Amino acid sequence: MQIETVVAPLLGALCHVLAEPDGRCVVVDPGAGVVDDVAALVRRAGWTPVAVLLTHGHVDHTWDAAAVGDRFGVPVHVHEGDAYRLADPVGSLGPLGHQLAAMTGLDAPPAPADVRTFDAAAGHETPLALGDDDAVQVTALHSPGHTQGSTVYLVRDAAGSPVALTGDVLFAGSIGRTDLPGGDDAAMGRTLARLTTLDPATRVLPGHGPTSTVAAELAGNPYLRPHR
């Protein structure tokens, strides 16, 4: 699987595009303002989007979900625990959502027309087959704590090496906050304990900031140390 990344020009969230060898691809976390860059990327690469996939329902990661879904005529997939956020992307963030709306001066994005939810038990790996003919295969690891439906996606890159798309659960040297609506310290602790069991060679592609590896986070991330 080939993986390319687009940085949202507004709010800086990272949008990862996962492409199978046959050119069918999934757009993960299309943040604010990425739709044209994603369209240009897939056009240059000769790829065909078959789905949008969300690591969680916070608006900086979902802002262009409807726009990408509409542009390519594809559904938006999200864990059922965060599906409600797509209908109220600002309000479901609490006061921070209203601060973001005031800061950007933009209206809240519309809900995607075609939302499909999946149910994955916390801490367990659940295979997902996305697109017609199950075109793109990913593994969902439900990882609540930052939000109820936060999910880490596990794939293999073009070299066959393991990759984890961690959204806002795990960053290089840090973790996602748990003080927003839907956050849960205890759930985050269980999630972090589960992430420490991933292959140390796994490359970590977070929703913000630089990439890392599980090995590097085990060695240097203070939030993982109590859960090793």
Domains and CATH numbers, the chain: 2-227 (3.60.15.10)
pTM: 0.95
Q: Please report, rounded to a whole number, the percentage of residues in the chain having pLDDT higher than 90.
A: 82
DSSP state of 67: H
- What number of residues does the chain have? 228
* Residue recorded with tokens 């809240």: 108
CA angle (2 as vertex; 211, 83 as ends), nearest 5: 70
168-226 tens-digit pLDDT: 999 999 999 999 999 999 999 999 999 999 999 999 999 999 999 999 999 999 999 88
The pLDDT mean for the chain works out to 93
**What's the angle, vertex CA 222, arms to CA 217 and CA 225, rounded to 5?**
80
Residue type, 77: H
pLDDT score of 166 more than 80: yes
The closest of 53, 119, 110, 57 to 83, measured between CA atoms, is 57
Model confidence over 87-103: pLDDT tens digits?
A: 988 878 787 777 777 77
How confident is the model over 103-133, as pLDDT tens digits?
A: 777 677 889 999 999 998 888 899 999 988 8
